Amino acid sequence: MLQVYLVRHGETEWNAARRIQGQSDSPLTAKGLYQARQVAERVRNEGITHVITSDLGRTRHTAQIIADACGCEVINEPRLRELHMGVLEERILDGLTEQEEVWRKQMVDGSPQGRIPEGETMTELAARMRAALDSCLDLPEGSKPLLVSHGIALGCLISTILGLPAYAERRLRLRNCSLSRVDHQQSAWLANGWIVETAGDVSHLELPALDELQR
């Protein structure tokens, strides 16, 4: 059985400011750095062998803190990037026009062909996230990788493992530096392949971690 840990990056300045990030970037806040250290301590003794991260700055910084605790190198994986939010990237959430809010809501409300102009669909996101996860099957026997990615991206990945369409209504909350785990296994009582062991665990965080729409 292959166990794969999934971590969302720590809080960023744009998270705190309610600014849409997508594949744009902003640095971790002091709280985000603290969250990253806390999740690093949580997994320090789990036997992590590979820390694989989205190549955006907020995930790479989070991943480096985790890798230092686990004695691993950081491996960049662009397929773990956040959903591309097109023309809405860098925009303040509360300043969107009515039409822009319609575009944004289509990414979370179950619209099959939802796409922000110049962005990508949830189906496209799911395909690259699943490919990144499946590549872990090629790691050496006994590996225990940890992937660092983003809220929408990880939520989409976990939802599709559960059998939901990539564009399904978004109902899984993954807070900053939450910890999830998916396993690849064969079982008499579960479907063969990827299964969800845990999702969105924040028991290691001392301070409440918010998601991007609660602020």
- Token pair, residue 157, equals 């990945």
3-state secondary structure at position 169: coil
Q: How far apart are CA 146 and CA 77, in angstroms?
A: 12
Q: Was 58 annotated as part of a binding site?
A: yes
Q: Three-state SS for 166?
A: coil
Which of 9, 50, 61, 150 is the catalytic position?
9
104 assigned ligand-binding residue: no
Q: Would residue 82 show up in a list of annotated catalytic residues for this protein?
A: yes
> Is 9 annotated as catalytic?
yes
The answer to whether the annotation marks 8 as part of a ligand binding site is: yes
83 is in an annotated binding site: yes
181 is in an annotated binding site: no
Question: Annotation-wise, does 150 bind a ligand?
Answer: no
Number of Cβ within 10 Å of residue 108's Cβ equals: 17
Asked if residue 11 belongs to a known ligand binding site, the reply is yes
Q: Active site residue: 77, 82, 89, 212, which one?
A: 82
According to the 3-state scheme, what is the secondary structure of 27-77?
Answer: CECHHHHHHHHHHHHHHCCCCCCEEEECCCHHHHHHHHHHHHHHCCCEEEC
- Residues annotated in a binding site for substrate: 8-15, 21-22, 58, 60, 82-85, 151-152
- Residues annotated in a binding site: 8-15, 21-22, 58, 60, 82-85, 151-152
Residues with a known catalytic role:
9, 82
